[in-house]
Each structure stands twice: as C-alpha cells, then as structure tokens.
Amino acid sequence: MKQTLPTPSAPKALGPYSHMVQAGDWIYLSGQIPIDPATGEIVEGGIQAQTQRVLDTIEALLSDVGLSTDHIVKTTIYITNMADFGAINALYAERFRAPYPARATVEVAGLPKGVGIEIDAVIHRAGRAE
C-alpha cells in the first residue's frame, strides 16, 4: 500500500505527482528542480546556485518526515551539461557522508522550466547501518 507523505517545505508541484510517496519502509522522492519554495521561482545564478537549491529542498523534505540524507539509498542526477559534473559533484559531496548512496548521473537534452539539474531519490526509513 502506498501513501503520500506531507511535504510542507516543497515548492508547488508542476504536475500531477506527489513529492514523496511511501510504500512500506521505502520512500520515493520525485525529481526536485531548483525552485525557491518561498517564491515559486527558478533560482538564478548558474549550476552551483541551482544545485544548492535542489539539495536544500531535498534536505527540507526529508526533515518534514523526520529523516536526513543518511536515509537516502539511491539518487539519480539529471543534468543538461556534463561539463557541470565537477561543480555538482563537489556540492553533492558536502551534503552526504560515507557510506554514500548509490548514484547515477545522466546528461539529458532538457529539464522542466529550462533548469540545469534535477535530482530524485530512493529512501529507506531504517537509514544507515553504523
């Protein structure tokens, strides 16, 4: 059985989807793009500012349900320019600690609203093994 989780920190959804859905102990976080939840506007300032906003949103959504990035098992990063990989990777490394989630990074032709990055995640409520 699946259920939608509360996401008061989320920007307004751009379509017919839920930001977070739980099935058992697993949570699926929809792709997050760099939308400022306070204004509903796309964050300006290039890939670093956009990456920071996406990671901030992910952390806030996890916090809404009492979790942290330690509970993330897998992420997929979608980027429109593979030349941005180094900058994105450096910012990503600041937000996660070992053991790191599994991850795929994919260059795509385009993303919603013309942004440069989108990240989705698979989360397990039990979190990290220490």
Quote the pLDDT of residue 5: 95
Query: What pTM, to 2 d.p., does this model score?
Result: 0.95
Domain boundaries, the chain: 2-124
Distance between CA atoms of 63 and 40, rounded to whole angstroms?
20
Quote the pLDDT of residue 52: 98
Distance between CA atoms of 26 and 126, rounded to whole angstroms?
9
- Helices of type H across 3-68: 46-64
Q: Which CATH architecture has domain 2-124?
A: 2-Layer Sandwich (3.30)
CA neighbor of 116 nearest in space, from 49, 29, 26, 19: 49
pLDDT tens, the chain, 130 aa long: 899 999 999 988 889 999 999 999 999 999 999 999 999 999 999 999 999 999 999 999 999 999 999 999 999 999 999 999 999 999 999 999 999 999 999 999 999 999 999 999 999 998 665 5
Quote the pLDDT of residue 127: 66
Q: Is 35 exposed, middle or buried (0-12, 13-18, 19+ CB in 10 A)?
A: buried
